[in-house]
Amino acid sequence: MIALSSPYASIVYYPDAYSWDYVYTPPNNLSIVVQKVEEVIEIGGIFVAAFFYGGVLLLLCRTRHIFKSSKNYRVEAKILIQAIVITVYCTILNVFWHNYQVLLPASIWSYMALNFMWILNSGIYPLIYFILNKTIREKVRSSRDH
């Protein structure tokens, strides 16, 4: 954050590509460093989350009979599903964002899709809550019918 506030690293919006990107020309000499540090932190966090989710899933498989007998089984399963879906979405977004030159064709549609993924990232939580929470769905349905 501090590096992006300096005159040596910056992000700019390119309207012709419908996309944001780092500025790599002088005096923005630190943009590449900031991008790589950001990538390491984000991808590293994803691996840490994957490690813990893998451990949780392994534990649940080994103690399935205890887990299913819990009165909060459905609630706990929904929370786990939410966490996994959010982690997978963020993984896909971050991997493609930092490696789009290699993974995606160089077209305006690729850049636009990546930026829309960032915009949709803000809506992934409410969408998952809506899908998994019957009470919220019923309230939305009843308010729509009136």
Does some domain include residue 24?
no
pLDDT of residue 14: 85
Query: What is the domain count for the chain?
Result: 1
Q: What number of residues does the chain have? A: 146
List CB contacts of 5: < 8 A, sequence separation 6 or more. none
Q: What is the pLDDT along the chain (146 residues), one digit of tens a residue?
A: 666 677 778 888 888 877 888 888 888 778 888 888 888 888 888 889 889 988 888 887 788 777 677 777 777 778 888 888 888 898 899 888 888 888 989 888 888 888 889 888 888 888 888 888 888 888 888 887 76
Least Cα distance to 28 among 13, 7, 12 occurs for 7
- Does residue 42 lie within any of the structural domains? yes
In a domain, 5, yes or no: no
CB 111 within 8 A of CB 19: yes
Q: Is residue 18 part of a domain?
A: no
Q: Confirm whether 9 is domain-assigned.
A: no
| Nearest-angstrom CA–CA distance, 114 and 35 | 16
| pLDDT at residue 67, rounded to an integer | 67
pTM summary value: 0.72
User: Tell me, what's the pLDDT at 28?
Assistant: 77
> Which pLDDT belongs to residue 60?
79
Secondary structure (H, E, C), 18-45: CEEEECCCCCCCCHHHHHHHHHHHHHHH
* Domain housing 59: 34-145
Q: Is residue 2 part of a domain?
A: no
Alpha-carbon distance 53 to 91, whole Å? Answer: 13
Query: What's the pLDDT score for residue 1?
Result: 60
| 121 occurs within a structural domain | yes
97, part of any domain: yes
